[in-house]
């Protein structure tokens, strides 16, 4: 298989700076060589152009940097679609989680029945009405499900991109109050860290995979590195204590790989400024390899 690597230095969707160099950190951690050693042909297209916050007005306080985020997302969606049409596996490197608007829109244009496994400490299921911060990285999954501002929901000209029935959020432990209500009203499957503690990660992932791929649907994996405990992944934009352990995260990736239905992936929120010796980027590369088939034996 050919892997198409797309870097998205997006630092517009959140308040905390530094995730725009996350893609570079992942490359520095040996991503390309590691994928090649696993047997993949790697086509690294470099980074798309994304405006810096200093160069653009913030805009509406409940939809910060809306226009430049939409512009970059439109470009990314086109590149992801092109990669899939060429038979490549799009691997999108963030950047904050707002990049998933473009990556998943690009996948959904090709695969109408795509299921999404959203591994994250946060649900990112706010809208401009519910957001406490105005940060768009917290609205992306809702927008993909057709909820929120039309500039987000109708990226590429259609909405929704995803069926709420085939979305599973895993590892959630920091949800806003109104966001909780919205998740319940839309019947989104949310597997919290409490669920994982009570039932174990393997049972949770089996159930989550059944949600996102009930009829062998293709799967997109959106991995936010803050899903892991900060002791494992210190270099993230919005760390929350009590996350996935190192082995739990690898088991998740291995179980996804075993389905043979993973067709695309994004990895987001690596913040080298807050990291220790590129630890988080190195871990992210390990998890990518596990998702793409690396085994212990």
Which DSSP category does 148 fall into?
Answer: S
Active site residue 20: no
Active site residue 97: yes
* CA gap 192, 169 in Å, rounded: 8
**From 179, 254, 269, 275, the catalytic residue:** 269
Active site residue 189: no
* CA gap 219, 141 in Å, rounded: 15
Q: Do 190 and 123 meet the contact criterion of CB atoms below 8 Å apart?
A: yes
**From 11, 20, 96, 122, the catalytic residue:** 122
Active site residue 120: yes
**From 20, 96, 128, 137, the catalytic residue:** 137
Active site residue 44: no
Active site residue 124: yes
* CA gap 283, 251 in Å, rounded: 13
**From 20, 96, 124, 176, the catalytic residue:** 124
Neighbours of 199 (CB within 10 A): 12
> Can you give the C-alpha Rg of the chain in angstroms?
17
**From 20, 97, 195, 275, the catalytic residue:** 97
**From 96, 128, 179, 224, the catalytic residue:** 224
Active site residue 60: no
Active site residue 220: no
* Residue from 55, 161, 60, 183 nearest 116 by CA: 161
Catalytic positions, please? 97, 120, 122, 124, 137, 224, 226, 269
């Amino acid at each position: 298989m050919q892997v198409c690597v797309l870097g998205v230095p997006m630092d517009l969707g959140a308040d905390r700076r530094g995730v725009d160099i996350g893609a570079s950190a992942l490359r520095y951690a040996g991503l390309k060589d590691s994928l090649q050693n696993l047997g993949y042909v790697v086509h690294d297209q470099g980074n798309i152009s994304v405006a810096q916050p200093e160069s653009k007005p913030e805009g509406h306080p409940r939809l910060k940097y809306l226009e430049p985020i939409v512009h970059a997302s439109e470009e990314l969606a086109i590149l992801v679609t092109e990669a899939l049409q060429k038979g490549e596996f799009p691997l999108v490197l963030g950047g904050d989680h707002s990049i998933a608007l473009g990556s998943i829109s690009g996948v959904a244009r090709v695969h109408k029945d795509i299921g999404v496994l959203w591994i994250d400490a946060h649900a990112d299921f706010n809208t401009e009405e519910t957001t406490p911060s105005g940060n768009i990285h917290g609205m992306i999954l809702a927008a993909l499900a057709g909820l929120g501002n039309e500039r987000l929901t109708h990226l590429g000209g259609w909405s929704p991109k995803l069926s709420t029935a085939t979305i599973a959020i895993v590892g959630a432990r920091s949800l806003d109050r109104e966001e909780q209500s919205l998740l319940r009203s839309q019947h989104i499957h949310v597997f919290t860290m409490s669920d994982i503690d009570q039932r174990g990660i393997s049972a949770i992932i089996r159930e989550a995979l059944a949600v996102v791929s009930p009829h062998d649907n293709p799967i997109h994996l959106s991995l936010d590195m803050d899903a892991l405990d900060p002791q494992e992944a210190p270099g993230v934009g919005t760390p929350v204590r009590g996350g996935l352990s190192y082995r739990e995260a690898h088991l998740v990736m291995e179980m996804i790989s075993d389905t043979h239905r993973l067709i695309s992936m994004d990895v987001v929120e690596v913040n080298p400024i807050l990291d220790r010796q590129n630890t988080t980027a190195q871990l992210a590369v390990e998890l990518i390899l596990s998702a793409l088939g690396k085994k212990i034996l």
